[in-house]
Structure 1
């Protein structure tokens, strides 16, 4: 492996090895100087040149150890460690030559192995073998110098140098292979750690934004992990520390039983469970479970098995499906209504022309029936097409801050003028409260609600009430109240659905359009049975309440309405 092509992770590993070798060289230099001083104290023949050489080698190792360098492996500037290997070989050779001159009973040839080891670990294959070759040549040169200077037989010295050099080659090769393998493993471990961190971050992000609730349970019924949707379903705070036990809460016993069944059968499970909350409607969840394990391969620790649960609120699922069906039905109905309008207009016109020539009373009654039912079909067709118009208006609508009492008073006056025989009582209590709404849309909502209320109200003078309320810190509301009979429960469940009506002559689109307009402006519309204190006593009635979103803008300020998906 070429050090110049190492990845950043491998380069950092090599840098740590280089730093370790620098520290080892300092320790070797300190040991040499300490041995020489100890030998001098014991009366051994240690010359000043030996002490000076040891001190110089220590100074060189300390200087290189304290040399400023980057944290990464200096692959593009390898001269520091290459020079250090050369300095070590020359220093050990010089010490050995000085030892020969003083007849000191100390051999420095084993230190050559340190330089060879450093070349094998830090360098590539050529540097490793080159270091071993240089050390071998220096040993052979020392053997020759010994024989030439002493005039003795040098065969044994040459053989010893050759054997030692062979060992250096083996050490250099093995050290290089081990270092290469170590750096490769470090690089692989670093890549695996990065991949694990990335996977954990992605999993956390997915769990935080997935629409289903996710629970991770251990065999003891403790929640090891839960995403925000699951915490909301469990009515728990998001900052609650994990893990927390699920067993003490008896409401969640069906989940514990399903987790236990999953662990016992070692296979995935799917079931619909009902969770009962005191004072609330039952929560029906569709639960799917999978069994996983955090134990290492071959481990038999069953407590490490975890049960992963996906929780889906069936009410939300049904609502999404119902919305999709209604959207598809609305598109189809609009297309059908558009196609019906032209032939229906031809039928109405032909019937009017035919009625001019009819004199028989029976035939005139039949013509009147045709005209009446044709007009009814025309109204239904216009209501269906009106949905598309309303959606277009909502997509291009802008709103401004309105003074609620003033806007409601104008709309009530216009409605009263169009219905002279019906009285509406105004209770304007909003006190200059401002609301964010499109004026024409507000008119459309209130007129529709007043029409419905007047249809079912009694003939009393106070049978129809229009009430506004608003105070600091609370959203403003406008309520249309009538003293009509209570709605059936079956009617209340489908009150704001399109094409639903309790009357055969109604298209069932009025309240649906009102709710769509309210949601578009961030408001809500709901129905409730409410009692009012009137002059004739306490009277129960039907109340449709429009609750506006808060606004702090002045009455004349205008802005583009925030986008709200309907």
Structure 2
């Protein structure tokens, strides 16, 4: 059963749009607490008056009125006040809170007839102003309380109710304490607010950085996995999930042990953990839903992250957990990059060699033309001159074709397509090929195109067919048995005309098949690796296609498996040249 997907971090916009009041969250709770505390104090004062009534009947009715009014005002403010505290600046908006508290406490102090002293309650408005207001409000509130306290002492002194010296000392010390409490409380609140702002700012920066990292990793072409020591993938980007054969929305975390095809990846991670070192290796994985193996280049990197401690003591340092970051790169992409570099190298090489080949060819052609004029009376020598001229022209066309593939200009090297009678042209090319030192009756022709014509240049088709015949001859089992090399044509009713060269050679390896038509790829050291690539490029010029299959063909010894290269021609008139693969390379 898959685990639920972990919560995603907030986006950059969400992090930037967070309410600025988040930094004041502790003070919002304090504001709500102060409002509730005022209601409780008002209730306690009312209960206190009830208790005094049972001890001293006939109390002052004004005290009851003040207590009831205070309870009503605190309840009203608690129910109607905003969730956020008022502005910290001094102003009339603080009168329903600080002003009411000071007035009620002073009235109770003036109206009380017993030994009770309510002056200690004056610390409540001082604390409210010091915590929720600015320094001006805190000092102004404290100064107001000080003046009222000293005024009350002076009035008591004038009335002769107290001993003046001791009362003034006590009031002075109390007021000094009020100022100290107000200042220290305000500084502590300011520091808490500043630290809260810094924490919020750091949190937003961390969330933004996390989102940027997640965005970069998500769109990274390289696969990234974060694996713990239990071989559970904690994080993975879409590229890595795709390489493993999983959907982009696959739930995290998941175990590498879930699929046997990932065993080599698990072994590489285990090796990196065991050696405590990063490793780099090429591995092959079997992705989910695929039969073949996927070649990957793997790199690991070990890192440590802090994990929350399970201990009750919050001061205990967090535990460090080692994680393995795995980078996966598809070998096919790396090979494609290498092929692109090869193509660029071929383009530069072709441009450099062109001048070296064209100049000797021009000299040979010119000298052959002059020699033909001097030998006009000798037919045998004239025949030799014609052979030299034809081969020089053929070599020039080969050079031009290679250059046309490598050049960036799309207007150079246009194909001169014509209508070819396929069976007739194939028979002629095969006859010429056998005449070039091949054993007699070394090829079996099975031509069944029924005088159909194809849109192709005759010389280009000859080059393709000769290249395929040379490859088939090289890998056939017996050069003296014609059925080991067969050339076939066909034109099914309503279908496309095709040409096929088949030989009974051994099957090609899967790695060879994947790169069969790529430039510079060859299983032989002496081969340039351009033959089949040029065949494919020439076919694409005429909207034809060439492909490889492993087919069984009937022979005198029964059906035999062999290698077949098939060309499917397009129907219709010739069109402008399509841009070849090399046309995008700047020479």
- Per the normalisation by structure 2, the TM-score is 0.69
2:93 to 56, 80, 86: 80
Among residues 564, 571, 578, which one is paired with 1:542 in the alignment? Answer: 564
* 1:40 counterpart = 2:53: yes
Measured at CA, do residues 277 and 64 of structure 1 come closer, stay the same or move farther in structure 2, by a change above 3 Å? closer
The 1:505–1:213 alpha-carbon spacing in structure 2 relative to 1, beyond 3 Å, is closer
Aligned to 1:113: 123
Q: Judge conservation of contact 1:120–1:128 (CA < 8 Å) in 2.
A: yes
Contact map agreement 1:424 1:462 (CA 8 A) in 2: no
2:517 matched to which residue of 1? 496
> Which residue pairs with 1:431 in the alignment?
none
Matching of residue 482 in structure 1 with residue 500 in structure 2: yes
Question: How far apart in 1 are the matches of 2:89 and 2:34?
Answer: 19
- What are the Cα deviations for residues 340-364 of structure 1, in whole angstroms up to 9, with x where unaligned? 6577556534542443223578975
Provide the C-alpha distance between the structure 1 equivalents of 2:193 and 2:504, rounded to a whole number of angstroms: 81
Indicate the residue corresponding to 2:103 in structure 1: 90
* Aligned counterpart, 1:54: 67
Cα shift at 1:203: 2.6
Q: 1:371 aligns with which of 389, 395, 398?
A: 389
Number of equivalent positions: 499
Q: Using the alignment, how far apart are the partners of 2:194 and 2:386 within structure 1? A: 94
Task: Find the aligned partners of 2:550 and 2:61 in 1 and give their Cα distance.
Answer: 111
Q: Are residues 1:383 and 2:405 paired?
A: no
Match status 1:17 vs 2:30: yes
- 1:219-258 superposed matches below 5 A: 219-247=229-257, 249=259, 251-258=261-268
- Name 2:192's counterpart in structure 1: 182
C-alpha displacement of 1:158: 1.4
> Is 1:348 matched with 2:365?
yes
Structure 1 residue corresponding to 2:534, chosen from 490, 500, 510: 510
Deviations 1:323-348 (A, max 9, x none): 22223422542465478657755653
Please list, as runs of the form range in 1=range in 2, the aligned pairs for 1:63-78 lying within 5 A after superposition: 63-67=76-80, 69=82, 71=84, 74=87
- Structure 2 residue runs of 5 or longer lacking an equivalent are 1-18, 309-315, 412-416, 428-446, 473-481, 571-583
1:144 aligns with 2:166: no
1:220/1:508 CA distance change after superposition, 3 Å: closer
Distance 1:161 1:299, change over 3 A: closer
1:314 is matched with: 331
State whether residues 12 and 72 of structure 1, in contact with CA within 8 Å, keep that contact through their aligned partners in structure 2: no
* Residue 288, structure 1, aligned to residue 299, structure 2: yes
Write out per-residue CA displacement over residues 150-206 of structure 1, whole angstroms, 9 at most, x where no aligned residue: 454222221111111111112112211211121122222222222232233223222
> Once the 2 structures are TM-superposed, how far is the Cα of residue 11 of structure 1 from its aligned partner?
4.6
Contact 1:425/1:465 (8 A) holds in 2: yes
Q: In structure 2, how many angstroms separate the alpha carbons of the residues matched to 1:283 and 1:155?
A: 96
Question: What do the CA deviations read for 1:508-532 (whole angstroms, capped 9, x no partner)?
Answer: 55344268789xx9x9974213358
State the SS of the aligned residue for 2:503: coil
Structure 2 residue 344 is the aligned partner of structure 1 residue 327: yes
Q: In structure 1, what is the Cα distance between the partners aligned to 2:201 and 2:530?
A: 68
Shift in Å at residue 44 of structure 1?
Answer: 4.7
Deviations 1:402-430 (A, max 9, x none): xxxxxxxxx9x94438956766539x9xx
Matched-pair contact (CA < 8 Å) for 2:272–2:279: yes
Does the 8 Å contact 1:449/1:480 carry over to 2?
A: no
Q: Secondary structure at the match of 2:163?
A: coil
Question: Which residues of structure 1 form unaligned runs of 5+?
Answer: 1-5, 394-410, 429-441, 470-476, 549-564
Cα displacement (A) at 1:380: 2.4
1:160 partnered with 2:170 = yes
Distance in 2 (CA, whole Å) between partners of 1:141 and 1:365 is 138
For the residues of structure 2 that align with 1:194 and 1:380, how far apart are their CA atoms?
A: 65
With a CA cutoff of 8 Å and minimum separation of 6, indicate the structure with the bigger relative contact order.
2
Contact 2:223–2:327 (CA under 8 A) maintained in structure 1 = yes
For structure 1, which segment, 120-129 or 348-357, has the greater mean C-alpha deviation from structure 2 after superposition? 348-357
After superposition, the Cα gap between the structure-2 partners of 1:55 and 1:300, relative to the gap in structure 1 and judged at 3 Å, is closer
1:447, CA displacement in angstroms?
A: 11
Residues 40 and 533 of structure 1: CA distance in aligned 2, closer, same or farther (over 3 Å): farther
CA distance in 2: counterparts of 1:517 and 1:75, whole angstroms:
80
Distance in 1 between residues matched to 2:91 and 2:541, nearest whole Å: 74
Matches of 1:524 and 1:38 in 2, distance apart? Answer: 106
Which segment drifts farther, 361-370 or 382-391?
361-370
CA distance in structure 2 between the aligned counterparts of 1:152 and 1:506, rounded to whole angstroms:
117
The CA distance in 2 between the partners of 1:81 and 1:380, in whole Å, is: 96
Any conservation in 1 of the 2:489–2:497 contact (CA below 8 Å)?
no
**Cα deviation code 1:252-304 (max 9, x no counterpart):** 444334333433443323333444789955544332222222226985846x2
The whole-number CA distance in structure 1 between the counterparts of 2:56 and 2:83 is 45
After TM superposition, the score normalised by the length of structure 1 is: 0.71
Q: Is the 8 A contact 1:230 1:311 kept in 2?
A: yes
Q: Distance in 1 between matches of 2:50 and 2:501?
A: 114
Backbone CA RMSD of aligned residues: 4.8
Post-superposition offset of 1:117: 0.7
Cα drift, residue 238 of structure 1: 4.0
